[in-house]
Copies of this chain bind each other. A is one copy, B any other.
Amino acid sequence: MKLSTRGRYGLRAMLDLAIHYDEGYIPLRHIAERQDISEGYLEQVFAMLKKEGLVKSARGAQGGYKLSDRPENITVGMILRTLEGSLAPVDCIAESNPTTCSRYDRCVTKLIWEMMRDSINDVVDSMNLKHLVLEYENIDSNR
Protein backbone atom coordinates (compact mmCIF):
# COMPACT_ATOMS: atom_id res chain seq x y z
CA MET A 1 0.00 0.00 0.00
CA LYS A 2 2.82 2.39 -0.77
CA LEU A 3 2.89 5.29 -3.15
CA SER A 4 5.58 5.01 -5.80
CA THR A 5 8.22 7.66 -6.36
CA ARG A 6 6.15 8.92 -9.28
CA GLY A 7 3.51 10.23 -6.92
CA ARG A 8 5.96 11.43 -4.30
CA TYR A 9 8.36 13.12 -6.68
CA GLY A 10 5.48 14.48 -8.71
CA LEU A 11 3.83 16.15 -5.75
CA ARG A 12 7.14 17.68 -4.63
CA ALA A 13 7.79 18.92 -8.15
CA MET A 14 4.32 20.43 -8.41
CA LEU A 15 4.80 22.12 -5.04
CA ASP A 16 8.08 23.49 -6.38
CA LEU A 17 6.22 24.93 -9.37
CA ALA A 18 3.62 26.39 -7.02
CA ILE A 19 6.28 28.06 -4.88
CA HIS A 20 7.73 29.64 -8.02
CA TYR A 21 4.35 30.25 -9.58
CA ASP A 22 5.01 33.88 -10.56
CA GLU A 23 8.36 33.20 -12.23
CA GLY A 24 7.04 31.98 -15.58
CA TYR A 25 8.27 28.78 -17.12
CA ILE A 26 10.63 26.78 -14.92
CA PRO A 27 13.07 24.34 -16.56
CA LEU A 28 12.99 20.80 -15.19
CA ARG A 29 16.69 21.07 -14.45
CA HIS A 30 16.00 23.62 -11.74
CA ILE A 31 13.34 21.47 -10.13
CA ALA A 32 15.53 18.40 -10.37
CA GLU A 33 18.40 20.21 -8.65
CA ARG A 34 16.30 21.81 -5.92
CA GLN A 35 14.42 18.58 -5.18
CA ASP A 36 17.35 16.25 -5.81
CA ILE A 37 15.47 14.11 -8.29
CA SER A 38 16.79 12.58 -11.51
CA GLU A 39 15.98 14.99 -14.34
CA GLY A 40 15.40 12.21 -16.85
CA TYR A 41 12.95 10.54 -14.54
CA LEU A 42 11.16 13.82 -13.87
CA GLU A 43 10.67 14.20 -17.63
CA GLN A 44 8.56 11.07 -17.64
CA VAL A 45 6.57 12.25 -14.66
CA PHE A 46 5.90 15.60 -16.33
CA ALA A 47 4.80 13.90 -19.53
CA MET A 48 1.93 12.44 -17.49
CA LEU A 49 1.13 15.74 -15.78
CA LYS A 50 1.12 17.51 -19.13
CA LYS A 51 -1.11 14.90 -20.75
CA GLU A 52 -3.57 15.33 -17.90
CA GLY A 53 -3.47 19.11 -18.34
CA LEU A 54 -2.09 19.95 -14.90
CA VAL A 55 0.96 21.74 -16.32
CA LYS A 56 1.77 23.49 -19.57
CA SER A 57 5.14 23.58 -21.25
CA ALA A 58 7.29 25.80 -23.44
CA ARG A 59 9.96 24.17 -25.53
CA GLY A 60 13.33 25.56 -26.46
CA ALA A 61 15.67 27.92 -24.63
CA GLN A 62 14.05 29.78 -21.73
CA GLY A 63 11.33 27.16 -21.84
CA GLY A 64 10.15 24.88 -19.07
CA TYR A 65 6.97 24.03 -17.25
CA LYS A 66 4.40 25.97 -15.26
CA LEU A 67 1.16 25.13 -13.52
CA SER A 68 -1.82 25.24 -15.87
CA ASP A 69 -3.91 26.93 -13.17
CA ARG A 70 -3.52 28.78 -9.88
CA PRO A 71 -2.18 26.66 -7.01
CA GLU A 72 -5.48 26.81 -5.11
CA ASN A 73 -7.22 25.15 -8.05
CA ILE A 74 -4.94 22.13 -8.23
CA THR A 75 -5.60 19.53 -5.55
CA VAL A 76 -3.23 16.90 -4.26
CA GLY A 77 -5.79 14.34 -5.39
CA MET A 78 -5.64 15.52 -9.00
CA ILE A 79 -1.87 15.10 -8.97
CA LEU A 80 -1.72 11.75 -7.19
CA ARG A 81 -4.49 10.14 -9.23
CA THR A 82 -2.78 11.31 -12.42
CA LEU A 83 0.52 9.74 -11.45
CA GLU A 84 -0.60 6.70 -9.45
CA GLY A 85 -3.89 5.90 -11.11
CA SER A 86 -6.89 5.31 -8.88
CA LEU A 87 -6.10 5.49 -5.18
CA ALA A 88 -8.53 2.64 -4.51
CA PRO A 89 -6.74 -0.14 -2.61
CA VAL A 90 -8.04 -2.78 -5.05
CA ASP A 91 -8.72 -2.55 -8.76
CA CYS A 92 -12.29 -3.85 -8.73
CA ILE A 93 -13.59 -0.59 -7.22
CA ALA A 94 -11.43 1.90 -9.13
CA GLU A 95 -13.41 4.99 -10.10
CA SER A 96 -12.75 4.34 -13.80
CA ASN A 97 -12.03 1.07 -15.59
CA PRO A 98 -12.60 -1.20 -12.60
CA THR A 99 -11.48 -4.77 -13.15
CA THR A 100 -14.21 -7.38 -13.08
CA CYS A 101 -14.36 -10.10 -10.46
CA SER A 102 -16.60 -13.15 -10.37
CA ARG A 103 -17.19 -12.59 -6.68
CA TYR A 104 -18.25 -8.97 -7.10
CA ASP A 105 -21.90 -9.38 -6.09
CA ARG A 106 -21.32 -11.37 -2.94
CA CYS A 107 -18.00 -9.78 -1.95
CA VAL A 108 -18.06 -8.61 1.65
CA THR A 109 -14.55 -7.21 1.82
CA LYS A 110 -15.46 -4.82 -1.01
CA LEU A 111 -17.19 -2.71 1.65
CA ILE A 112 -13.86 -2.11 3.34
CA TRP A 113 -12.10 -1.26 0.11
CA GLU A 114 -14.79 1.27 -0.80
CA MET A 115 -14.52 2.96 2.58
CA MET A 116 -10.75 3.13 2.25
CA ARG A 117 -10.97 4.52 -1.28
CA ASP A 118 -13.44 7.20 -0.27
CA SER A 119 -11.55 8.32 2.81
CA ILE A 120 -8.27 8.50 0.90
CA ASN A 121 -9.90 10.56 -1.84
CA ASP A 122 -11.50 12.85 0.73
CA VAL A 123 -8.11 13.60 2.26
CA VAL A 124 -6.23 14.27 -0.95
CA ASP A 125 -9.07 16.29 -2.45
CA SER A 126 -9.24 18.47 0.64
CA MET A 127 -5.70 19.75 0.13
CA ASN A 128 -4.45 21.87 -2.74
CA LEU A 129 -1.09 23.33 -3.71
CA LYS A 130 -1.86 26.68 -2.10
CA HIS A 131 -2.28 24.94 1.25
CA LEU A 132 1.12 23.36 0.81
CA VAL A 133 2.79 26.61 -0.22
CA LEU A 134 1.47 28.30 2.93
CA GLU A 135 2.74 25.41 5.01
CA TYR A 136 6.10 25.65 3.27
CA GLU A 137 6.40 29.35 4.10
CA ASN A 138 5.37 28.63 7.66
CA ILE A 139 7.99 25.92 8.16
CA ASP A 140 10.61 28.04 6.43
CA SER A 141 10.03 31.02 8.73
CA ASN A 142 10.59 28.84 11.78
CA ARG A 143 14.07 27.69 10.84
B1 near A89 with CB under 8 A, answer: yes
Complex Cα gap A41–B3 (Å): 25
For A143, what are the chain B residues with a Cβ–Cβ distance below 8 Å? 106
Determine the interface band of chain A, counting residues with CB < 8 A from chain B.
20 to 34
* A118 nearest in chain B by CB position: B123
Complex Cα gap A139–B135 (Å): 46
Other-chain residue from B2, B3, B112, B124 in contact with A76 (beta carbon distance below 8 A): B112
Q: Does A122 contact B (CB under 8 A)?
A: yes
For A122, what are the chain B residues with a Cβ–Cβ distance below 8 Å? 119
CB interface residues, A 30-77, toward B, < 8 Å: 76
Q: Does A95 contact B (CB under 8 A)?
A: no
* A135 nearest in chain B by CB position: B108
For A139, what are the chain B residues with a Cβ–Cβ distance below 8 Å? 106, 108
User: Which residue numbers of A lie inside 8 Å of B, CB to CB?
Assistant: 1-3, 7-8, 11-12, 15, 76, 84, 87, 89-91, 106, 108-109, 111-113, 115-116, 119-120, 122-124, 127, 132, 135-136, 139-140, 143
